[in-house]
Amino acid sequence: MLRLEGVSVCFGQNHVLNQVDLSVAAGEVLVLLGPSGCGKSTLLRTIAGLETPSEGQLFWGAQDLTGLPAHQRGFGMMFQDHALFGHLSVADNVAFGLRIAGWGAELRQKKVAELMALVGLVGFEGRSVDALSGGEAQRVALARSLAPDPRLLMLDEPLASLDRALRDRLVSDLGQLLRELGQSAIYVTHDHGEAFALADRIAVMDGGQIARCGRPVEVWADPRTEAVARSIGHQNILSLDDQGHCVLGRLGGQAGLVLVRSDGLRLAPTGVAARVVGSVFSHGRYDLQVEAGGQLLQLSAVESVGLGDLVYLAWSDDAVVPLRSSST
């Protein structure tokens, strides 16, 4: 198991990571989620051994990794651009690390065959990587990363360069494959959809720290801070006045921020009046954007409503969640 205790990384006077505590259990897929500049890629590089902590320690079980070179950690890395070697065939790309590690030709060939079957690319062994589609290249890069049987696989936004339809398909395949292998993994992304599709646990980063960490359902239900709420895709964040009022009525006892989760907001025969300003049909439901008192809100509904229609809103009490401001 990987464990980080009080890990900080400074570049000059800039604290890119600040007292990070984190763990990854055996067979767990942990997703690091957050916007650009929050520190997630630096954290991944620090775990890989490509950055040196200014403070803190890293452990694998009882083994102290803090000063251990990257090539001695037994970790695998998959990058956004795949970093495949254009002058090598698919099979030779997959076998590259094995050859460097001194594996014999017969063992390399057997391992490559296993991996080609695993990622669904049987018959591609002799192809040039320059002839591959984006999705095929991603699978080759994954096979190469898995070839040395890493005790931890690290993936730095591996799907970011692909189009949305292909990403949605591959993220499902990737999650299934990692779980079939029982592979411990850390996956970095800024896309909350990828995070929820893949993660056993999500660690949301903000300002070089872990702002929230937990199972996807826990983080979704109670993000705790405004920054985390926005990072995971919540949009119904409302400001309360000194008496706890907002456009939906009294939702608290004092000034502050609350989240009204979209899964608890619904259309009703009576309630707070709102005007429909956006409607998209998706997976048997309508994703609606409505305007109430100058505030844009999002919810889903099975009812068909038109742009400009007057609707009424109601919500469940447990969908109203207090938030701390990102500045506090």
pLDDT above 60 (res 225): yes
Per-residue pLDDT of 242-296, as tens digits, reads 999 999 999 998 999 999 999 999 999 999 999 999 999 988 899 999 999 999 9
Q: How confident is the model at residue 12 (pLDDT cuts 50, 70, 90)?
A: confident
Triad 32, 38, 40: Cα angle to 5°: 35
pLDDT value of position 164: 79
CA distance 7 to 20: 5
| Six token digits for residue 51 | 């950055």
Per-residue pLDDT of 42-74, as tens digits, reads 999 999 999 999 999 999 999 999 999 998 999
Domain ranges of the chain: 2-230, 237-323
Q: How confident is the model at residue 315 (pLDDT cuts 50, 70, 90)?
A: very high
Spatial contact of 226 and 232, defined as CB atoms under 8 Å apart: no
pLDDT value of position 221: 96
Does CATH place domain 237-323 in 2.40.50.140? yes
- Sequence-ordered alpha helix ranges (H) in 131-225: 134-146, 164-181, 192-198, 216-221
Cα 242 to Cα 239, 292, 324, distances in angstroms: 10, 20, 15
- Closest alpha carbon to 121 in 166, 90, 163: 90
CA distance 38 to 207: 5
pLDDT value of position 73: 94
CA distance 246 to 60: 49
pLDDT value of position 327: 55
Per-residue pLDDT of 151-194, as tens digits, reads 999 999 888 877 777 788 788 888 888 998 899 999 999 999 99
pLDDT value of position 326: 65
- Domain at 2-230: CATH architecture: 3-Layer(aba) Sandwich (3.40)
Helices (runs of H) and strands (runs of E) counted in the chain: 8, 19
